[in-house]
A and B are shown apart, each in its own frame.
Chain A
Amino acid sequence: MTALLETTGLTRRFGGVVAVNDLDMSVESGEILGLIGPNGAGKSTAFSMISGYLQPSAGRISFDGRDITRSRAYQVARLGIGRVFQHSVSFRRMSALDNVLIGFHRHHQTGLLGSLLRSGKARREEAALRGEALGLLDFMGLAAVKDEIPLNLPHGHQRGLSVALALAARPKLLLLDEPVTGMNPSESALMTEHIRRIRDMGVTIVIVEHDMKVVMNLCDRLVVLDYGAKICEGPPDKVCVDPLVCEAYLGKGTFDAA
């Protein structure tokens, strides 16, 4: 069965530096794939290329049967790839609810004229979407802060808001860039649980993360990058004993699956 997302020979060079080197990767529908590797291994660069923010130097990316190698970020988003960024980005001074509402952009039906004239249809759709946005906030445990601006929210809530926003676009594939970095253990556990539930809703997930506990518990499969190249892939328990992987991580911190 064809993979949902597939990269072939994906490469990105910055001047003399090869950030991603001939990456062949595929993501199966419904799985949670972990993209791991030491710092600077090229994981975020790969994400940026897949989500259309960066043009590959070479190689191809295909999603759901379509070639998205040259597609721009908003086109990729419209096809169904969502992304949660590494550092909490939000629409800083709009309420949490308004933040999530933006996420419905590709799905909202009301045309410009109707929207300007506040037609009955426009108002009904707005109300419906507000309800849906509230539902998403509630799903992430943020219903209580729906009127707060992200600047006032603690870090954990801001991450949750980012996820809610990404979900509003109803993605088929969700790219999570370090979702639990900077969180304390209880927040981590909460986010992990949310990610599982998102997968259960039918969303395929690729996650870049350094927290090995989370990676081990959450991911069905892992792809390990080092210096931009894939050095190992497979189920977590197999990957963690691979000698190449251990060598890559040697001295860079513990790599135990406890």
Chain B
Amino acid sequence: MRSLSDKLARRWKWPAIAAAAVVLIALPQLLANAYYVQLSILILLNAVLAMTFVLLLRAGMISLSVAGFWGIGAYASGLLTVKTGMSFWLSVPLALLVTAGVALALGSLICRYSGLGFIIPSLLFGLIVPLVFGTFSWFGGYVGLLGVFPADSISLPGGLTIDFIAPESQYYLLLALAAISVVVLLAFYAAWTGRTWRAIGYSSKLAESVGVNPFRYRLGAFVLGAVIAALMGAFFAQYQSNILPDTYGPMKTITVQVFAILGGVGFPVVGPFVGAALLTLMPEVLRSTGNWEPIITGAVIILIVMFLPHGILGSVLPRLRRRDRHKVSPSAESAAGDVGVENAPPSEAAS
């Protein structure tokens, strides 16, 4: 009973992925100058952060902590390398471990609740993280953590050394880390866990009635999202060299949310890319309009979210998500309905 467009989608899926991979790998060579490479790095970074937001959204949580975990990863890795002279490569797993610990602790408290009961504590956490980093000088205070070195070079057998000073090498480093994150995410989505997350996102009550423990699955998604964000943080620390606490506040999380929703949350990997690319490139394209740029960008955001309820991808590729075939009035459809997160319901304890 597969429709024609479903069949078409299947035929072109692998070629499309291969083409995308080729483009991504060749990108630095194709771009005119280092500035564009830096833009690409930003887009990639934001895309992965947006993916973690979508992950949590699927499992029924609207998280305002994304930037907080990003920050913990950045500071953990940065502090370890700056204060102890540790190699970047060693600091990464440690930073991930620290973040996982924090996420586990926080998640144990808040993943029991849904709706506002989850959102508000996650916002609190998102506010506290930059505040802590900024207030205590051990972290560098508001001046920031300075002098984080780029990742140390790797010596391969045969005498070849890869260093990470040039923007292109930084891009490839990020690409590798992003690829790992995407593979992990996709593996989870395709597995039993992924299906369960979706079910919980739609109705944790119904999922419970067949024996699913929603708290455990939410916690798992929460920790996974935090760890991936932290990985991006560790990269960012060595990329920026100087990291400032205010970068990692809730405003960043909301920006990431915008990327995710505009791209289309029905597409957990490609959607964030589209959203991040659009919103990172638009200010560039609109540079000539000077002062009007934020106004135009803001207007575009509003228009998209009002008229393209399923995001850009969701509207352009309607057959690739299971769309209603009977006419649901357009105003009744909206972005996150694709993954089942409804009007923030009254907070309910999961018990």
Chain A positions near chain B (C-beta within 8 angstroms) = 51-53, 72-74, 77-78, 82-83, 85, 89-95, 98, 101-103, 105-106, 108, 110, 112, 115-118, 122, 146-147, 149, 151-152, 165-166, 168-169
Given A78-B211, A106-B211: A93 and B192 interface contact (C-beta under 8 Å): no
**Cα(A89)–Cα(B205), bound, Å:** 9
B212 touches A91 (CB 8 A): no
Name the residue on B nearest A144 (C-beta): B1
Best-buried of B193, B206, B322 by chain A (most CB within 10 Å): B206
Instruction: Please determine whether A82 and B209 come into contact, CB atoms closer than 8 angstroms.
Output: yes
The chain A residue sitting closest to B202, CB to CB, is: A91
Residue of B nearest to A115 (CB): B191
Q: Is the CB of B209 within 8 A of A116?
A: no
- Considering the chains assembled together, what is the distance between the CA atoms of A55 and B272 in angstroms? 41
Contact with A along B285-318 (1 / 0, CB 8 A): 0000000000000000000000000000000000
Partner of A166 from B210, B214, B325 at Cβ < 8 Å: B210
Most chain B CB atoms below 10 A, which of A98, A101, A116, A122: A116
A-side contacts of B2, CB under 8 Å: 147
Beta-carbon contacts of B198-215 to A below 8 Å, as 1s and 0s? 110011011111111110
A10 to B130, CA, bound (A): 50
Is there contact, CB below 8 Å, between B210 and A85? no
Cβ contacts under 8 Å, A106 to chain B: 210-211
Question: Which 5 pairs between the two chains have the least Cβ-Cβ distance?
Answer: A106-B211, A115-B191, A73-B208, A77-B211, A91-B202
- Are B198 and A94 touching (Cβ within 8 A)? yes
Known: A147-B1, A151-B324, A152-B324. A74 touches B340 (CB 8 A): no
Q: B195 on the interface (CB 8 Å rule)?
A: yes
Having A94-B195, A115-B191, A116-B187, one finds 4 other A-B pairs with CB under 8 Å, namely: A77-B208, A89-B203, A94-B198, A166-B209
Q: Report B-chain residues with C-beta under 8 Å of the C-beta of A108.
A: 192
- Could you tell me if A93 and B203 are in contact, using CB atoms closer than 8 angstroms? no
The interface on chain B, measured as residues whose beta carbon lies within 8 A of the other chain's beta carbons, has a size of 35
**Which chain B residue shows the least CB distance to A78?**
B211
Report B130 CB to chain A, min CB distance, Å: 34
What are 9 sample pairs from A and B whose C-beta atoms fall under 8 A apart?
A: A72-B208, A73-B205, A82-B209, A85-B209, A90-B202, A91-B340, A102-B196, A110-B192, A151-B328
Residues of A within 8 A of B328 (CB): 151
Residues on A with beta carbons closer than 8 Å to the beta carbon of B324: 149, 151-152
**Pair B210/A91 contact, Cβ less than 8 Å:** no
* Minimum Cβ distance to chain A for residue B192 (Å): 5
Is A102 touching B187 in the complex (CB atoms < 8 A)? no
A5 to chain B, nearest CB (A): 16
Q: How far is the CA of A245 from the CA of B24 in the complex (A)?
A: 74
What CA separation (Å) do A15 and B351 show in the bound complex? 19
On whether A91 and B203 interact (CB within 8 A), knowing A73-B209, A77-B211, A115-B193, the answer reads yes
A94:B206 contact, CB within 8 angstroms: no
Query: Does B172 reach chain A (CB closer than 8 Å)?
Result: no
Are A93 and B338 closer than 8 Å at their CB atoms? yes
* B205 touching A118, Cβ below 8 Å: no
The distance from the CB of A164 to the nearest CB of chain B, in whole angstroms, is 11
Q: Is the CB of B340 within 8 A of A93?
A: yes
Find the B residue at minimum CB distance from A52: B208
Taking a contact as CB atoms under 8 Å apart, the answer to whether B203 and A116 are in contact is no
Contact B211 A94 (CB under 8 A): no
Chain A residues, CB < 8 A from B195: 94, 98, 101-102
For B192, the closest partner residue in chain A by CB is A115
Q: Are A169 and B210 in contact (CB under 8 A)?
A: yes
Given the complex, which residues of A lie within 8 Å of B198, measured CB to CB? 91, 94
Please, which residue of chain A has its CB at the minimum distance from the CB of B220?
A112
Chain A's closest residue to B186 (CB) is A116
* CA A64 to CA B209, docked complex, whole Å: 18
The answer to whether B13 has its CB under 8 Å from any CB of chain A is no
Instruction: Flag whether B190 is at the interface (Cβ < 8 A).
Output: yes
Give the residues in chain A near B199, CB-CB below 8 Å. Answer: 91, 94, 102
Q: Do residues B326 and A102 form an inter-chain contact, with CB atoms below 8 A?
A: no
When chains A and B are docked, how far (Å) is the Cα of A24 from the Cα of B43? 63
The answer to the question of B188 belonging to the interface, with a C-beta cut-off of 8 Å to chain A, is: yes
Q: Are A105 and B205 in contact (CB under 8 A)?
A: no
Given contacts A89-B203, A102-B196, contact A83 B209 (CB under 8 A): yes
B337 contacts across to A, CB distance below 8 A: 93
Give the chain A neighbours of B203 by CB distance below 8 A.
Answer: 89-92
B209 adjacent to A72 (CB under 8 Å): no
Residues of B within 8 A of A82 (CB): 209-210
Within 8 Å by CB of A105, from B212, B325, B326, B339, lies B212
Shortest Cβ distance from B264 into chain A, in angstroms? 13
Residues of A within 8 A of B213 (CB): 74
CA distance A169 to B193 in the complex (A): 17
Residue pair A74, B190 in contact (C-beta under 8 Å): no
Q: How far is the CB of A177 from chain B (nearest CB, A)?
A: 11
